[in-house]
Amino acid sequence: MVKGSCLCGTVKWETEAPFNRMRHCHCARCRKAHGAPFATYFSVPKERFHLTAGAAAITRYPSSPEYHRSFCSTCGSVTPSTGNGDTVDVPAGCLDTDPETRPMMHIFAASTPVWDRITDDLPRHDTFEPGNDADVLPDSPAPESGGTLRGSCLCGGAEFEAGAPFRVAYHCHCNRCQKARAAAHTSNGSIAAEGLRYLKGEDLLVHFKVADAAFFTHTFCSVCGSGMVKPGTGERPFVTIPLASLDGDPGIRPTQHIYTNYNAPWFEISGDLPRRDEGPEIQTIDLFQDPA
């Protein structure tokens, strides 16, 4: 039995192999919904999927006329979604046990954002794989930016301006990031807190702080569940932005993989970026307190 749960532990499920079509999806909707560079899903027939706790905590958001995405309303983790009615799509990032199945391909590779790169040898398809005749939806147009970098959630209810340069960006593989974004890893960047300005929808955001964490907070849109900007606090004068929430080029590119000792068993880190078992050598807070 393969088990999964959300970051706060309210939503829990179990499912039985065999699983179908484990794929990395780079589409813009997965990116926004997860607040991660890509999402990894497998699907399973409904009768082999059992929600064991937390049904009342799940919010469903129709991300297209035919498809609902689901998330935990308490912590914001993306949770399994009913696909076409007969199957359940399970995001691998929330698993508690090894599914013993591995990703077979990249889909929507053509939607990979400028700040990310696919570096492994799995087959890549621009949209769905050949033989899959599911509808390909056009990407929603990015909001008009007027030259300043903007970001928004999947439903468009919350929108912000990132008006300060990014000083750091990492791919983070820690298990809290995996759970919160229900993805293999996050790709986050930080700017000075005064550079962040909400244009709308700040009141839609929920900030879920993990009880036993010093700082770890997952911020998400209460309507669509998208991973959004983690706020700064008095002593932490910076904000952490999921690059996936941006509607333009942040300029910066992630420079390393951090917390790789937590890497998911189903995900193979590839490419030539440096890897660290622990956090970055220089704490982000020190970077922002340095007057230079």
27 is an interface residue for Zn ion by CB under 5 A: yes
90 is an interface residue for Zn ion by CB under 5 A: no
**With CB under 5 A as the contact rule, which of the stretches 139-147, 215-223, 244-252, 280-288 interacts with Zn ion?**
215-223
Q: How far is the CB of 168 from Zn ion (least distance, A)?
A: 26
228 is an interface residue for Zn ion by CB under 5 A: no
Q: How far is the CB of 28 from Zn ion (least distance, A)?
A: 8
Q: How far is the CB of 152 from Zn ion (least distance, A)?
A: 8
For residues 8 and 149, which CB has a smaller minimum distance to Zn ion in the complex?
Answer: 8
For residues 10 and 186, which CB has a smaller minimum distance to Zn ion in the complex?
Answer: 10
Count interface residues toward Zn ion (CB under 5 A): 15
157 is an interface residue for Zn ion by CB under 5 A: yes
Q: How far is the CB of 282 from Zn ion (least distance, A)?
A: 32
For residues 9 and 45, which CB has a smaller minimum distance to Zn ion in the complex?
Answer: 9
Residue 128 · residue 107 · CB < 8 Å: yes
Q: Contacting Zn ion (CB under 5 A), which of 44, 92, 155, 177?
A: 155
User: Among 174, 151, 155, 288, which Cα is nearest to 228's?
Assistant: 151
Q: How far is the CB of 158 from Zn ion (least distance, A)?
A: 5
What is the C-alpha separation between 104 and 119, in angstroms, rounded?
Answer: 14
**With CB under 5 A as the contact rule, which of the stretches 68-76, 137-145, 251-259, 271-279 interacts with Zn ion?**
68-76
Binding characters for Zn ion, 1-20, by CB under 5 A (x = yes): -----x-x-x----------
The three-state DSSP-derived secondary structure of the chain is CEEEECCCCCCEEEECCCCEEEEEECCHHHHHHHCCCCEEEEEEEHHHEEEEECHHHEEEEEEECCEEEEEECCCCCEECEECCCCEEEEEHHHECCCCCCCCCEEECHHHCCCCCCCCCCCCECCCCCCCCCCCCCCCCCCCCCCCCCEEECCCCCCEEEECCCCCEEEEECCHHHHHHHCCCCEEEEEEEHHHEEEEECHHHEEEEECCCCCCCEEEEECCCCCECCECCECCECEEEEEHHHECCCCCCCCCCEECHHHCCCCCCCCCCCCECCCCCCCCHHHHHHCCC
Spell out the residues 6+ positions from residue 239 whose beta carbon is closer than 8 angstroms to its own: 190, 191, 192, 193, 195, 196, 229, 230, 231, 232
Q: Contacting Zn ion (CB under 5 A), which of 33, 36, 72, 239?
A: 72
78 is an interface residue for Zn ion by CB under 5 A: no
Pairing of strands 186-192, 168-172: antiparallel
30 is an interface residue for Zn ion by CB under 5 A: yes
For residues 192 and 223, which CB has a smaller minimum distance to Zn ion in the complex?
Answer: 223
**With CB under 5 A as the contact rule, which of the stretches 24-32, 92-100, 259-267, 279-287 interacts with Zn ion?**
24-32
Cβ atoms within 10 Å, residue 148: 12
Q: Contacting Zn ion (CB under 5 A), which of 223, 252, 269, 287?
A: 223
**With CB under 5 A as the contact rule, which of the stretches 81-89, 150-158, 166-174, 258-266 interacts with Zn ion?**
150-158
Q: How far is the CB of 54 from Zn ion (least distance, A)?
A: 7
Q: Contact residues for Zn ion (CB under 5 A)?
A: 6, 8, 10, 25, 27, 30, 72, 74-75, 153, 155, 157, 221, 223-224
